[in-house]
Amino acid sequence: MSGQGRYRDMWKRHADVDAIVWTIDDERDRIGVVRDEMQMFVDEVERQRLLSSTRRRPPPIVIFAGSSSDTPLSLREISGLLDLPRRLKSHDWFFCRWNRTNGNGLECGMDWLTAQVKRRIC
């Protein structure tokens, strides 16, 4: 689902999920927007989880960082700027770099996410 402003209202209808895949561009001038939007979505997922009769564990989150920059931010820099350890403390999460052109990096993140989901349902 897109993160563009006109689609964000749809998040409320899709917050009761088994897993979350979040893709970001590591542009320095957009990191603050990504941080705020991620927090709003994670808050909505938590609200939906608490309203659910099953009270499942928070869904695992895989975050893919793509870059179109000649000087991309490191994963450590992005993690710090997004404050991931604090914001995602109730979720299992995995963060990896991916190449939007050829898909390198997707397999690693999706393998992790698949294993997380399997662990929860088996």
Q: Could you tell me which residues are beta bridge partners of residue 96?
A: 64
Cβ–Cβ contacts within 10 Å for residue 94, how many?
17
> Is 66 within any annotated ligand binding site?
no
pTM confidence score: 0.82
Which H helix or E strand runs over 51? helix 31-51
DSSP β-bridge partners for residue 65: 24, 97
Please give the DSSP secondary-structure letter assigned to residue 55. Answer: -
Average pLDDT over residues 64-88: 87
Q: State the pLDDT confidence band at 82, using cuts at 50, 70 and 90.
A: very high
| Mean pLDDT calculated for residue range 8-19 | 68
Number of folded domains in the chain? 1
The whole-number pLDDT of residue 15 equals 60
Domain of 22, CATH number, reads 3.40.50.300
How, if at all, do strands 20-25 and 93-97 pair? unpaired
Residues 6+ apart with CB under 8 A from 95: 62, 63, 65, 75, 78, 79, 84
Task: Evaluate whether 65 touches 75 at the Cβ level (below 8 Å).
Answer: yes
Say which residue the tokens 């320095």 belong to: 28
User: Domain limits at 77?
Assistant: 5-121
